[in-house]
Chains A and B, each alone.
Chain A
Amino acid sequence: MENKNMSRIKSLLFLLALAAQVTLASATVTYAVGSCKPTLKSFTTIMAALGATPAPNVVEVCPGTYPEQIEITIPVTLEGVTANNSTQAIITVPSGGLITNDVQLWVNNAGGEVNLTNLTVDATGYNGGTIGVYYTNSSGTMNHLTVRNQSWDGGGIGVWLQGGSANPSVTLENSNVMGFGSTGISIDTYSDTSALTATVKGNYVNTAPINGPPYPIGINFLGGGTVYITDNLITGGYQGIGVADQDLTFAAGSVSMNTVVNAAGLGIGTIPGGVSVTSNTIYNVLNDGDGISIDSSVAPVTGNTIMAAGLGIEFHCVAGSNVHSNTIQDTVDGVWDVPLAAAANTYYSVGTIRGTEDVGGCQ
């Protein structure tokens, strides 16, 4: 009887040990980069931490400058931490330049969530095409990033979000994207269905106003996904927000409550039928540019305020009753190439409410 009991106890202990091992295996593996976290296993480079075994769940990056090209292929949280009165981890271009590709931080088919927090990705001084942060076919959240100075010879993208077969969900929020050459935030998948869900909210996107090539765009959605672009502040560039399909790919979602200031040519330009444009504020479009240019007859374009521009809303003889309840103030022309009866918008200090490029307009 005693032996039997002993055997049972042994079995129980074995089971408990197994359970403990399983628990241990699911424990979070956290590494540090730099020397500010002496209790953690630490590495001198971010790539070394990401490549270590066991694979990390969290990599905490001490304040400092890290001249590295980073590729992330596993689910992980990469975050800058506060130490010694500083909270600035800066990823810069290595002295030899970007070698393997044009990307500073590439999240590549990670197979799970990759979260980036409190990091600066800076391409200052690099004379070559650059993408600051590139998500391909990977889910995750970017929060409180600074991505800057991806600009060279008319190119350069701050953050590029691209979907794929995993149909990922990506959120970019509370981040600064500045000094880009071509596009601040680019979103696309080459797909006829939605292969990406992107939420871009509460970001500050700015570059110098440029009324010509390369026609910088603050946030540009090219199709192949569902986007929620909301509550961003976008300044400068040629165009604040662009929504354009590429070869009839899928496009859905909304552009709402954004503020676009000091664009050199166009506030918001949109083509596909599926993306609504509502409750945005477009202020001070330079060079007598347009507030909103819309090529859809169905997507709601409502509740927007366009203040100080050459033209309020361009209908392209396509948009119609889907465009209403907008307020247009201080423009040379209110609406242009309107195919139907006058749209029900509100006008203040507008030279000509309904303008038309050609005699006969859209007839």
Chain B
Amino acid sequence: VGQVFRDRKYSKEDETMSRMKSLTLLLALVAQVSLVSATTTTYTVGWCQPNNTSFDTITEALAATPAPNVVQVCPGTYNEQLVITKPVTLEGITVGDAAQVIVAAPSGGLVTNATSDLGDPIAAQVWVESANGAVTLSNLTVDGTGNNVASGTYIVGVFFQDSPGTVNRLTIQNQNGNSGGVGLWLEGGSANPTVTVENTNLQAFDYTGMAAETNSNTSELTATIKGNYLASSFASANGIDLLGGQTATTTGNLITVGSEGVVIEGGSGAVSSNKVLSGAVGIALVTDGVSVTNNMVYNNAAQNSFGIIATSATAAVTGNTIAQFNAGISLQCAASANVHSNTILDAAQGLINVPAGAAPSNTYYNVGTISSGGC
């Protein structure tokens, strides 16, 4: 009782002091909380930044405690298969005259480590697996040389699975050897992630440069694929495969491939302003939910070939320039008025498989037969 009493006898000065102390304590607490949440944990892989906590391998850095926000990788070659399950930025850095971080296959090759939602076995070099926040990859080379993967398993440079994030300035190359090489595979899922792939160079894949899909009848992936470069001389290689279950904006890409430039089998979105050099089909639209506009489509091989296959009665196929194909646009006995304002130059046939009565308005130069039916 005496204590309580005495406390009640605090002078006004003491009370003010106490309040100030409380305030200071609170401020300190707030500051601490801010510090904790604002602090970025950055690790280094390699020994080019001696002041940072450094690791020999990327896998070690990704698994360290506390979990990193940023992993900076020194120039060099890292023979690892990476699995990323947390939000993180993984970036190659420049040191002196060196600016090349290569993620390469381990000696002996890649192991099968993932499965797509379609049930496909995958040997992924960089697997971003259900990360619940943005994963950013930049300035890295992912090289599939020496993958040693048997047929039946896809060789995948980067596999984004049900994870949001950004891929910027990557070089992904040499995913080949068993006709199942895929540079970059984007797969959606229950998290309905948003992924951007930009300024990335994909080379020497023997199946497809980039695939986007979700095994779903609705869109569970939003993908922006812009300003990328895709090149493969494999006769079987496609550039970009949009398989369904995604909403994709595919724009401003430069594609040179042996087979088909862009294949659209499902989903929604737009394919626009791409430059496509293909050996067989420039753009194959085999669904009706994706518009194809303002692309430049060229053939780079002298063989029977199609500029655009348009199996769409509603999706716009407009403003494209198509040159040097055997047939400019095949309307597949389905498309008609939605295909217009395209320019077809130097083709044996302009439009083929034109539905009876349809007369789409396009422009033709040096075209042997402008329009033919057969439906």
Query: Interface on A for B, CB 8 Å cutoff?
Result: 63, 80, 82, 85-88, 118-120, 144-146, 174, 176, 178, 204, 206, 233, 235-236, 259, 261-262, 281, 283-284, 307-308, 329-330, 334, 347-354
Q: 1/0 contact trace for B344-375 toward A, CB 8 Å?
A: 01100000000000000000111111110000
Known contacts A206-B300, A261-B254; is A284 also within 8 Å of B366 by CB? no
Do the beta carbons of A86 and B367 come within 8 Å of each other? yes
Do the beta carbons of B171 and A330 come within 8 Å of each other? yes
Residue on A nearest B301 in the bound complex, by CB: A208
Q: Roughly how many angstroms separate A161 CA and B72 CA in the complex, as a whole number?
A: 53
Q: Roughly how many angstroms separate A354 CA and B98 CA in the complex, as a whole number?
A: 9
Q: Roughly how many angstroms separate A136 CA and B256 CA in the complex, as a whole number?
A: 36
B97 adjacent to chain A (CB < 8 Å)? yes
Do the beta carbons of A118 and B365 come within 8 Å of each other? yes
B99 adjacent to chain A (CB < 8 Å)? yes
Query: Interface on B for A, CB 8 Å cutoff?
Result: 92, 94, 96-101, 139-141, 169-171, 173, 199, 201, 203, 229, 231, 254, 256, 275, 277, 296, 298, 300, 323-324, 345-346, 364-371
Interface SS majority for chain A: strand
When distances are taken between beta carbons in the complex, the residues of chain B under 8 Å from A119 are 366
When distances are taken between beta carbons in the complex, the residues of chain B under 8 Å from A284 are 203, 229, 231, 256
When distances are taken between beta carbons in the complex, the residues of chain B under 8 Å from A353 are 94, 96-99
Known contacts A235-B277, A284-B256; is A85 also within 8 Å of B366 by CB? no
Whole-angstrom distance between the Cβ of B204 and the nearest chain A Cβ:
10
Do the beta carbons of B169 and A176 come within 8 Å of each other? no
Do the beta carbons of A144 and B300 come within 8 Å of each other? no
Q: Roughly how many angstroms separate A259 CA and B298 CA in the complex, as a whole number?
A: 13
Known contacts A85-B371, A308-B231; is A261 also within 8 Å of B201 by CB? no
When distances are taken between beta carbons in the complex, the residues of chain B under 8 Å from A351 are 98-100
Do the beta carbons of B370 and A87 come within 8 Å of each other? yes
Residue on A nearest B231 in the bound complex, by CB: A284
Q: Roughly how many angstroms separate A308 CA and B254 CA in the complex, as a whole number?
A: 13
Do the beta carbons of B99 and A334 come within 8 Å of each other? yes
Do the beta carbons of A308 and B229 come within 8 Å of each other? yes
Q: Roughly how many angstroms separate A178 CA and B324 CA in the complex, as a whole number?
A: 9
Known contacts A118-B366, A307-B201; is A347 also within 8 Å of B99 by CB? yes
Of B92, B171, B254, the residue contacting A259 (CB under 8 A) is B254
Q: Roughly how many angstroms separate A120 CA and B203 CA in the complex, as a whole number?
A: 35
Apart from the given pairs A176-B346, A348-B92, 11 other A-B contacts in the complex at a CB distance below 8 Å: A88-B366, A144-B345, A176-B366, A206-B300, A259-B275, A262-B300, A283-B229, A284-B203, A307-B201, A347-B94, A348-B199
Do the beta carbons of A80 and B229 come within 8 Å of each other? no
Residue on A nearest B368 in the bound complex, by CB: A88
Do the beta carbons of A204 and B365 come within 8 Å of each other? no
Q: Roughly how many angstroms separate A86 CA and B170 CA in the complex, as a whole number?
A: 46
Known contacts A178-B324, A283-B231; is A352 also within 8 Å of B254 by CB? no
Of B96, B201, B366, the residue contacting A330 (CB under 8 A) is B201
When distances are taken between beta carbons in the complex, the residues of chain B under 8 Å from A308 are 171, 201, 203, 229, 231
When distances are taken between beta carbons in the complex, the residues of chain A under 8 Å from B92 are 348-349
Do the beta carbons of A348 and B366 come within 8 Å of each other? no
When distances are taken between beta carbons in the complex, the residues of chain A under 8 Å from B169 are 329, 348-349
Do the beta carbons of B345 and A146 come within 8 Å of each other? yes
Of A82, A87, A204, A329, the residue contacting B201 (CB under 8 A) is A329
Do the beta carbons of B345 and A176 come within 8 Å of each other? yes
Do the beta carbons of A262 and B346 come within 8 Å of each other? no
When distances are taken between beta carbons in the complex, the residues of chain A under 8 Å from B324 are 176, 178, 204, 206
20 A-B pairs in the complex with CB atoms less than 8 angstroms apart: A86-B367, A87-B366, A87-B370, A146-B366, A174-B345, A206-B324, A235-B298, A261-B277, A281-B254, A283-B256, A284-B231, A284-B256, A308-B203, A329-B171, A329-B199, A330-B201, A334-B99, A348-B99, A349-B170, A354-B97
Q: Roughly how many angstroms separate A154 CA and B47 CA in the complex, as a whole number?
A: 53
Q: Roughly how many angstroms separate A120 CA and B366 CA in the complex, as a whole number?
A: 6
When distances are taken between beta carbons in the complex, the residues of chain B under 8 Å from A330 are 141, 171, 173, 201, 203
Whole-angstrom distance between the Cβ of A196 and the nearest chain B Cβ:
26
Whole-angstrom distance between the Cβ of A83 and the nearest chain B Cβ:
10
Whole-angstrom distance between the Cβ of B144 and the nearest chain A Cβ:
14
Q: Roughly how many angstroms separate A259 CA and B98 CA in the complex, as a whole number?
A: 27
Do the beta carbons of B99 and A349 come within 8 Å of each other? yes
Do the beta carbons of A206 and B231 come within 8 Å of each other? no
Do the beta carbons of B97 and A352 come within 8 Å of each other? yes
Residue on B nearest A350 in the bound complex, by CB: B99
Q: Roughly how many angstroms separate A259 CA and B273 CA in the complex, as a whole number?
A: 14
Q: Roughly how many angstroms separate A281 CA and B101 CA in the complex, as a whole number?
A: 23
Q: Roughly how many angstroms separate A119 CA and B99 CA in the complex, as a whole number?
A: 49
When distances are taken between beta carbons in the complex, the residues of chain B under 8 Å from A233 are 275, 296, 298
Q: Roughly how many angstroms separate A67 CA and B27 CA in the complex, as a whole number?
A: 91
Residue on B nearest A348 in the bound complex, by CB: B169
Whole-angstrom distance between the Cβ of B239 and the nearest chain A Cβ:
13
